[in-house]
Structure 1
Amino acid sequence: VLGRSDNLRTLFNKFPELDEACLVLGMAFNEQRTFGMALQGEMVQRDVVQTSVSFSDHRAHLCGRDESRLRRVVGVQVFEYLLAQALSEIGEERVERQELEG
């Protein structure tokens, strides 16, 4: 994953003196419910609902020279995302209100 990261490669090309870097590793989360077996006391039960979790599509999203700077960047991105979500909801509410009034 890290060897294929364009972001990480760009960082090390830009700052060749770096020995290490910090990054945010993103991945797809998949949760499935399956039937399996479980031990209940001394008895094995079949067809017990179990949750299986897996992670795939790993990517180095953000890379930085130091952790504190990267944390600030992540914080700004989270804030901007939440702000965009709030503005989107406000816009939807305005449209709905205008439809009800008009």
Structure 2
Amino acid sequence: LLLLLSLLPVPCLSLSSCRSLDLEAARLKRIEAVRGQILSKLRLPEPPPEPGPARPVLPEEVRALYNSTRELLRQRERDRGHEDPQEYWAKELLRFPMESPGDGE
């Protein structure tokens, strides 16, 4: 009986030649593959360098013009908000007949 039990297929974990799957490593490989495909599509040998934090400095005249324009637009918006809604609509309708009823025949 012992001989029969030893012949039954049993998982032998200690003698396994399979490696365990590292999900994080697989994810990183997929990311690298996609990155390579994107670079290939763009015909770039490597990713472009990251832009630095340095922003171009605007001249003071341009900044002053921009700020004054923003302030003017805010002022116009405030003034427009104070209008009476009834001022928008016509007060009365005037009709001017150009021909008398019998002239067109």
Q: Fold match, TM over 0.5?
A: no
Return the index of the structure with the highest Cα Rg. Answer: 2
User: Normalising to structure 1: TM-score of the pair?
Assistant: 0.25
The structure whose RCO (Cα within 8 Å, separation 6+) is larger is 1
